[in-house]
Amino acid sequence: MGIRCRRAAVVAGLAAAMSAWPAWAYFDHYLSGTIVGTLGKAQLNSAWDVFGKTMDQSADGASVAFSLPAGKRHRAVEGSFTPLQTRKDRGDACRQVRSEFRRAGQSEAWTGWYCREQGGWKSRKLPD
């Protein structure tokens, strides 16, 4: 009888956790505590425009600075995108880029590969 009670408790606990998971997962996104993850929609659109132009037009090593003005609920952000190197992968042009963001004394930097695919620049894991 003790085993059945424990099983019932485990099943009930898993059911409760599974029903709460979507809400928890939404608020616990891996970018939620970062500057990038808390940009407002207008800021994100502006940053994406600068990113695309940087990737399309800037030489490797050329840093492109940007400034994202504050919104109703979002602080101003400054930063830069710097393409580090360019190469081909599966026939696509790919660029490694360093992204830097600063806001109110907080800063973060990201480096990753992005490849030109249909619809724009997409993040891609490339072998070293």
pLDDT digits (tens, 9 = 90+) for 40-98: 999 999 999 999 999 999 999 999 999 999 988 899 999 999 999 999 999 999 999 99
- Residue 29: pLDDT band by 50, 70, 90 thresholds? low
Other beta carbons within 10 Å of 112: 13
Higher pLDDT, 122 or 7: 122
Task: Report whether pLDDT(13) > 80.
Answer: no
In contact, 83 and 61? CB cutoff 8 Å: yes
pLDDT digits (tens, 9 = 90+) for 85-123: 999 999 999 999 999 999 999 999 999 999 999 889 999
Higher pLDDT, 128 or 70: 70
Residue type for position 32: S
